Amino acid sequence: MRGPFFAAFAALSLAACASTGGGGRGSENFAAFSPLGAALTEADARALEPAFLQAMNAGASGERFDWKGAGAFGWVKAREARLGGLKADPNDRPPMPANLILDEIYETEQGLYALTGNANVRLGPSTERLILEQLLSGTGVNVVGNVVGKPWMLVEADGRVRGYIHASLMIKAPGTELELAGGPRKPAIFCRAYEQRISVGGRSDQWEGVACREDGRWTLKAPAPGAPEKLF
């Protein structure tokens, strides 16, 4: 059964197919960061494109989408949702809940906080939004974004963005009270990790990466320097 991505992004799939590739511009090469990506012809890139878009727009985590062109073939699997745009390091895109609401502007780089009581973590910055979990009093969290104009914090704990906590339930973490907090105001960017395999010219590559949805289009993000290659 398909996960929450299907309901949230199925409607985007057709729009994405219309806005990415075609129009005389040539297809997006969604294998561009593979060592074999440059070997794809434009026709093979067109064969890959719909599989990539279906996986990213509507695929459940790990759901496989196969494709085959005249000279190459492969598959795409979308993985977990990730938060882009708010961390000081632009390559730091932590995992987050798949349907987290990200339609706010955030003051970034808030630093470490501690919870002053048991706190409900919500899907969006409102008491009317779904409760995702509860974090216990005393838990330390990293505030990746303070919602501008609302008393809500978007928090990260144990390497994952958890959701929103009301600001009244948080104080600066002990020992950090005098540290300056607050960075530029930014929108968040919805990203997804993915896994791909392609075979072309008798060689194959399997790799992982991240793509982010910006200006209505999926954009591949360059891998970290020194990422291993898995040619076979």
| pTM of the predicted structure, to 2 decimals | 0.84
What pLDDT is recorded for position 174?
87
CB contact set of 85 (below 8 Å; sequence gap of 6+): 186, 187, 188, 189, 212
Position 195 pLDDT exceeds 50? yes
For residues 73 and 117, state if they share a domain: no
- Model pLDDT for residues 98-157, shown as the tens digit of each residue: 999 999 999 999 999 999 999 999 999 999 999 999 999 999 999 999 999 999 999 999
Position 53 pLDDT exceeds 50? yes
State how many domains the chain has: 2
Position 16 pLDDT exceeds 60? no
Dihedral over Cα of 87, 93, 98, 99: its sign: positive
Position 9 pLDDT exceeds 60? no
Over residues 185-212, the mean pLDDT reads 96
Asked if the structure places residue 230 within a domain, the reply is: no
What pLDDT is recorded for position 181?
76
Over residues 87-93, the mean pLDDT reads 94
Asked if the structure places residue 228 within a domain, the reply is: no
For residues 135 and 200, state if they share a domain: no
**Rounded distance between C-alpha atoms, residue 147 and residue 145, angstroms:** 6
For residues 175 and 212, state if they share a domain: no
Asked if the structure places residue 231 within a domain, the reply is: no
For residues 15 and 63, state if they share a domain: yes
Position 225 pLDDT exceeds 90? no
For residues 151 and 205, state if they share a domain: no
Asked if the structure places residue 52 within a domain, the reply is: yes
User: How does the average pLDDT of the chain come out, rounded?
Assistant: 87
For residues 33 and 13, state if they share a domain: yes
Secondary structure (DSSP) of the chain = ---HHHHHHHHHHHHHHHHSS-TTS----TTTTSTTGGG--HHHHHHHHHHHHHHHHHPPTT-EEEEE-SSEEEEEEEEEEEEESSSSSTT---B--TT----SEEE---EEEEESS-EEEESSSSTTSPEEEEEPTT-EEEEEEEETTSSEEEEEETTEEEEEEEGGGEEEPTT-TTS-----EEE-EEEEEEEEEEEETTEEEEEEEEEEEETTEEEEEPPPTTPPP-B-
For residues 128 and 54, state if they share a domain: no
For residues 42 and 125, state if they share a domain: no
Position 21 pLDDT exceeds 80? no
What pLDDT is recorded for position 71?
95
For residues 91 and 164, state if they share a domain: yes
Asked if the structure places residue 57 within a domain, the reply is: yes
For residues 168 and 197, state if they share a domain: no
For residues 169 and 90, state if they share a domain: yes
Asked if the structure places residue 229 within a domain, the reply is: no
The structure tokens 């072309």 sit at 200
Q: What domain range is 22 assigned to?
A: 4-81+189-221
What pLDDT is recorded for position 176?
82
Strand partners, 164: 122, 154
Asked if the structure places residue 77 within a domain, the reply is: yes
The domain that contains 144 carries what CATH number? 2.30.30.40
For residues 180 and 200, state if they share a domain: no
Confidence band, pLDDT 50/70/90 cuts, at residue 14: very low
Asked if the structure places residue 232 within a domain, the reply is: no
Position 182 pLDDT exceeds 80? yes
